[in-house]
Structure 1
Amino acid sequence: MKNFELFLNETGISIFYLKVGLGFLSSFLITFFSIPTIIKISKRKNLMDEPGVRSSHLRRIPNLGGIAIFYSIGICTSIFAYEIFDLYKFLFASLIILLYVGIMDDIVVMRAYKKLVAQIVVSAFIVIGSDVRIRNLFGIFGIYEIHYFVSVIFSIITFIILINAFNLIDGIDGLAGGYSLVCSALFGISYYRLGEYNYPLVILSVVLIGSVLAFLYYNLSNLRTTKIFMGDTGSMLLGFLLAFTCICFIDIFIDKKVMSIPMYHLKSAPVVAVAILILPIVDTLNVIIVRLWNKKSPFEADKNHIHHKLLKLDLTHRRASFYIICYYLFIVITTYCLRHTNVNLLLLIILFLGFFGAYIPDMIFMMRNKKLKTNN
């Protein structure tokens, strides 16, 4: 490998850019050619997603697309960003556990408490075992450095919330995949700007983009023979990896034994991370608040998610996903422009914009009904 790197350096080719290109291409092709086989097996073995209370589809669709995403990530990350598994030794073990739990849930539907236990285990692995945790809130609510024990508990809870929040937005075609693609791109660009010490995380983000892009080709297909969902396997894996990259972004530091350059410092880093993952955060909080307001269990299935509201406006899945992603991308851009604003004020602005976006479909629906009544 060292001889190969020397050869590339002599020819003026950067090993990093080669890894990025090959990582993207390989992850895309592996997922792209794996999914048709998964679809065939799913139909042959009757492993299909049945329409239910929260479902936005009317027919049975294969829901094991997450297996192809894991397959791609597992192979490509191990080859092109193997340093990640040295730095975070429990990462691959956590992915394996989530794969097993996700497949079991997609096939036989696991009890909620069993999934929660698995999520606690993988979160503890990565937080305690790999020391990936939120150590500092940079002044949010007046909090700076967090005590180790509090940091561990807070980080584990954050992982669990984001894994489940991402699972909840996977309700219409293209939304979970499209949003994870945008989040991966934003985190990848951020890590690239932070220097070569973070290049393995850049490659991980690129691998995620390639894999999800190939999945979206089938997920957004109008043909019944090629359509597939990512299922809990895919949504939990992507939710976990985006939570992982999010916390790494907040907790970026430079080991002075490795690099003797100043530490990157951005006081609004936690708010920027919240802005990137604002959709699953706001959607989950909003649904829980509405359910509690209506004196229902926060775990009871309903159709109060943002994507369900847009479908009530007679939008297609593609258009609904596109509008949602564009709006929350606008929030990220706003956050970036205001990144040097007071961190508490910025958080308030971001949360306001997030919840405002969640109620735009309701306002449009009410105005449309009012107009119809007036015309009648």
Structure 2
Amino acid sequence: MKNFELLLTQTGISIFYVKVGLGFLFSFLITFFSIPTIIKISRRKNLMDEPGVRSSHLRKIPNLGGIAIFYSIGICTSIFAYEIFDLYKFLFASLIILLYVGIMDDIVVMRAYKKLIAQIVVSVFIVIGSDVRIRSLFGIFGIYEINYWISVIFSIITFIILINAFNLIDGIDGLAGGYSVVCSALFGISYYHLGPYNYPLVILSSVIIGSVLAFLYYNLSNYRAAKIFMGDTGSMLLGFLLAFTCICFIDIFIDKERLDIPRYHLKSAPVIAVAILILPIVDTLNVIVIRLFNRKSPFEADKNHIHHKLLKLNLTHRRASFYIIIYYLFIILITYFLRHSNVNILLATVLILGFIGAYIPDLILAFQNDKQRSIN
């Protein structure tokens, strides 16, 4: 690889852009050509997702698409952004653990507490072992620098919440995959603008995008024999990686002791990160509140998610995913234009808009029912 970089340098071609392009291309191709084999094995061995309480599909569908996503990300990141595994020693080990737990859950359905233990382990690895943590809230609620152990606990909880939150939005075709592409693109563009030190994270983002786009080709297919879900394997991996890139993004804006790392400062960095991941955050908070209000367990499956509400409006999976992503992109855009506002006001604005989006489908459905009743 170093000889290849030397050759590019001599020819005047930017190594970084070649890595981004090849990382995207090869991650796309690896996933694209891996999934048909996974589908074939899944059907032969009956490793399928059975329709259940939370399901929005009526037939058994292969659900091991996450294996192909891991396969391409693991290979391409190791080749084109190998510096990441030097900087964050426990990152690859964490991905392997999530892969194992995800596959086990997709095949035999693990108990919730076992998955939680695995999520705690990988979160501890990355937070304490690789020192990827939230060190400051930049004035949110009047809090700036956080005590080390409080920072560790808060960061571990953040990882666990985001891993599970992303798993919860994976309920209809295209939503989890499409939103992960959007988040990775936004973080990747941000890292690019923040300078060369962050280029490995840009490459990681492009690798994730390539892999997930290839997965979406099959996930959104109208041809039933080619259809596949990412399963818990894919949703946990993507949730973990997006939590990782999110916290790394916030960390960029904290003053570093090392002189070779450029210093940036943006008070609203944590709020921007929340805005980018607003869909899984709001959806998870909303269903938990509804379950507690109805005196049910917050872990009990139901159909109160945003995507389930849109399906009640007789929208297709594609249309529902498209409308959800467009609305939450609108929130991200507003956050960007207001990024220099007071952080607490900006955070409140983001959350209010996020929850409004969660209840717009209910208002539309109520209006349609009232109109139908008036006609009758």
Question: TM-score scaled to structure 2, two decimals?
Answer: 0.98
CA RMSD of aligned residues (A): 1.0
Equivalenced residue count is: 375
Shift of 1:257: 4.5
Corresponding letter in the other structure for 1:53:
V
Distance change (3 Å), C-alpha of 1:33 and 1:254 = farther
Shift of 1:260: 6.2
Task: Within 5 Å, give how 1:145-156 maps onto structure 2.
Answer: 145-156=145-156
Contact 2:94–2:125 (Cα < 8 Å) also in 1: yes
Partner of 2:115: 115
Partner of 1:17: 17
Q: Deviations over 1:143-192 (max 9, x none)?
A: 00000000000000000000000000000000000000000000000000
Partner of 1:210: 210
Distance change (3 Å), C-alpha of 1:50 and 1:2 = closer
What SS does the corresponding residue of 1:251 show, helix, strand or coil?
Answer: helix
Partner of 1:29: 29
Shift of 1:240: 0.2
Task: Within 5 Å, give how 1:153-302 maps onto structure 2.
Answer: 153-252=153-252, 253=254, 257=258, 259=260, 261=262, 263-302=263-302
Corresponding letter in the other structure for 2:265:
H
Corresponding letter in the other structure for 2:143:
I
Cα distance in structure 1, aligned partners of 2:266 and 2:255: 14
Corresponding letter in the other structure for 2:198:
N
What SS does the corresponding residue of 2:265 show, helix, strand or coil?
Answer: coil
Cα distance in structure 2, aligned partners of 1:61 and 1:360: 30
Partner of 1:335: 335
Corresponding letter in the other structure for 1:330:
F
Cα distance in structure 1, aligned partners of 2:94 and 2:183: 21
What SS does the corresponding residue of 1:225 show, helix, strand or coil?
Answer: helix
Task: Within 5 Å, give how 1:354-365 maps onto structure 2.
Answer: 354-365=354-365
Corresponding letter in the other structure for 1:158:
T
Corresponding letter in the other structure for 1:72:
S
Q: Deviations over 1:67-94 (max 9, x none)?
A: 0000000000000000000000000000
What SS does the corresponding residue of 1:126 show, helix, strand or coil?
Answer: helix
Contact 2:197–2:261 (Cα < 8 Å) also in 1: no
Question: TM-score scaled to structure 1, two decimals?
Answer: 0.98
Distance change (3 Å), C-alpha of 1:260 and 1:87 = closer
Shift of 1:3: 4.1
Contact 2:169–2:176 (Cα < 8 Å) also in 1: yes
- Ranges of 4+ aligned residues in structure 1 off by more than 3 Å: 1-4, 253-258
Shift of 1:11: 1.8
What SS does the corresponding residue of 1:265 show, helix, strand or coil?
Answer: coil
Task: Within 5 Å, give how 1:337-352 maps onto structure 2.
Answer: 337-352=337-352
Q: Deviations over 1:40-97 (max 9, x none)?
A: 0000000000000100000000000000000000000000000000000000000000
1:54 aligns with 2:25: no
What SS does the corresponding residue of 1:139 show, helix, strand or coil?
Answer: strand
Shift of 1:6: 3.2
Corresponding letter in the other structure for 2:117:
V
Cα distance in structure 2, aligned partners of 1:328 and 1:152: 29
Shift of 1:7: 2.7
Partner of 1:324: 324
Cα distance in structure 1, aligned partners of 2:201 and 2:183: 13
What SS does the corresponding residue of 2:226 show, helix, strand or coil?
Answer: coil
Distance change (3 Å), C-alpha of 1:93 and 1:111 = same
Structure 2 portions without partners, runs of 5+: none
Cα distance in structure 2, aligned partners of 1:8 and 1:144: 44
Shift of 1:296: 1.0
Structure 1 portions without partners, runs of 5+: none
Report % sequence identity. 84
Partner of 1:133: 133
Q: Deviations over 1:217-259 (max 9, x none)?
A: 0000011110000000000000000000000001115756462
Corresponding letter in the other structure for 2:168:
L
Cα distance in structure 1, aligned partners of 2:374 and 2:35: 50
Partner of 1:78: 78
Cα distance in structure 1, aligned partners of 2:259 and 2:139: 28
What SS does the corresponding residue of 2:94 show, helix, strand or coil?
Answer: helix
Cα distance in structure 2, aligned partners of 1:355 and 1:341: 20
Partner of 2:69: 69
Cα distance in structure 2, aligned partners of 1:131 and 1:81: 19
What SS does the corresponding residue of 1:264 show, helix, strand or coil?
Answer: coil
Corresponding letter in the other structure for 2:70:
F
Cα distance in structure 2, aligned partners of 1:6 and 1:312: 57
Distance change (3 Å), C-alpha of 1:260 and 1:269 = closer
Cα distance in structure 1, aligned partners of 2:21 and 2:325: 26
Cα distance in structure 2, aligned partners of 1:361 and 1:220: 23
Q: Deviations over 1:7-53 (max 9, x none)?
A: 32232200000000000000000000000000000000000000001
Corresponding letter in the other structure for 1:259:
D
